[in-house]
């Protein structure tokens, strides 16, 4: 099978300026996504979709390809990942290239491992689904979520005020690491599959505090895996 890795990295990050190439423990954070993709040997091509020359230069430096720049429609503040994937597919199609599967790895997925990437790929091949993504369990039951208006606190779901925690259905959220998908359906397919990973492997990075937490998690998680060979990680 021919597999394409797409790493979307727009240049216009506002909350953390130049986030996708900001130094993370000694190298640009996007380098971690590129290196895992290359070391996995799952892909016929590892490319970065960007609208930014500096990001393109960094991507090429770490071994990714930038065969073309992202289209204008897929570069604005309202573009979704599905839009980016569609743009990449269209540009490859114009070059006469098609693939069987795509994996979209986010540029700030610094905690990604080859093991997790492999599991997602295996699940895509084993199941009749459009896409597969790692998910993480909410640490607190969402059925006990609170809302506040003018200082007054109320439950979103008051019917669960006295329900035991162990009787509440677990809830999950997207880990924000990667998405394996069939080439034809991309991210627009409705049949989506998920598998659980630990909270230690996940960190959303939207501000400087998130960034420091990601660094701490990286050190803690990968030090716990130091007994293993890098190829196993």
pLDDT value, residue 19: 96
Q: How high is the pLDDT of residue 41?
A: 97
Contact 5, 81 (CB under 8 A): no
Asked if residue 124 has pLDDT above 80, the reply is yes
Assess whether pLDDT exceeds 60 at residue 230.
no
* Pick from 116, 130, 141: nearest CA to 196: 116
Asked if the model's pLDDT at residue 60 lies above 90, the reply is yes
- What confidence category does residue 226 fall into, taking pLDDT thresholds of 50, 70 and 90? low
Mean pLDDT, the chain, as a whole number? 93
User: So what's the pLDDT on residue 225?
Assistant: 66
Q: Is the pLDDT of residue 15 over 60?
A: yes
5 SS3 class: strand
Domains delineated in the chain: 3-138+171-232 (3.90.550.10)
Residue 233: per-residue pLDDT:
44
Q: Is the dihedral of CA 12, 99, 197, 28 positive or negative?
A: negative
Lowest mean pLDDT among 26-30, 34-38, 154-158, 224-228: 224-228
Using the predicted structure, report yes or no on whether residue 92 has a pLDDT greater than 70: yes
Confidence (pLDDT) at 223? 84
- What does the alpha-carbon distance between residue 55 and residue 60 come to, in Å, rounded to a whole number? 9
On the 0-12 / 13-18 / 19+ scale of CB atoms within 10 A, 214 is buried
Query: Burial level of 16, CB count in 10 A (0-12/13-18/19+)?
Result: middle
Q: Are 111 and 215 in contact (CB under 8 A)?
A: no
Q: Is the pLDDT of residue 228 over 70?
A: no
Helices (H), the chain: 30-40, 53-61, 81-94, 114-126, 208-224
**pLDDT band, very low/low/confident/very high, at 61 (cuts 50, 70, 90):** very high
Cβ distance 176 to 114 under 8 Å? no
pTM for the predicted model, two decimal places = 0.93
Residue listed under structure tokens 């099978």: 1
The H or E element spanning position 147 is strand 146-149
């Amino acid at each position: 099978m021919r597999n394409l890795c797409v790493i979307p990295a727009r240049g216009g990050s506002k909350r953390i300026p130049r986030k996708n190439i900001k130094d993370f423990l000694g190298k640009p954070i996007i380098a971690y996504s590129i290196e895992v993709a290359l070391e996995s040997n799952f892909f016929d091509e590892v490319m970065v979709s960007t609208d930014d020359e500096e990001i393109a230069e960094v991507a090429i430096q770490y071994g990714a390809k930038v065969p073309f720049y992202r289209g204008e429609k897929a570069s604005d503040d309202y573009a979704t990942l599905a839009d980016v994937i569609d743009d990449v597919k269209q540009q490859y199609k114009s070059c006469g290239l098609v693939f069987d599967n795509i994996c979209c790895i986010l540029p700030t997925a610094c905690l990604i491992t080859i093991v997790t990437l492999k599991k997602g790929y295996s699940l895509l091949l084993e199941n009749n689904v459009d896409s597969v993504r790692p998910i993480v369990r909410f640490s607190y039951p969402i059925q006990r979520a609170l809302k506040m208006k003018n200082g007054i606190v109320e439950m979103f779901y008051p019917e669960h005020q006295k329900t035991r925690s162990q009787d509440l259905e677990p809830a999950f959220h997207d880990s924000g690491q990667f998405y394996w998908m069939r080439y034809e359906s991309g991210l627009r397919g409705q049949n989506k599959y998920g598998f659980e990973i630990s909270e230690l492997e996940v960190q959303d990075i939207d501000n400087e505090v998130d960034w420091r937490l990601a660094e701490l998690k990286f050190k803690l998680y990968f030090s716990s895996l130091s007994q293993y060979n890098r190829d196993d990680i």
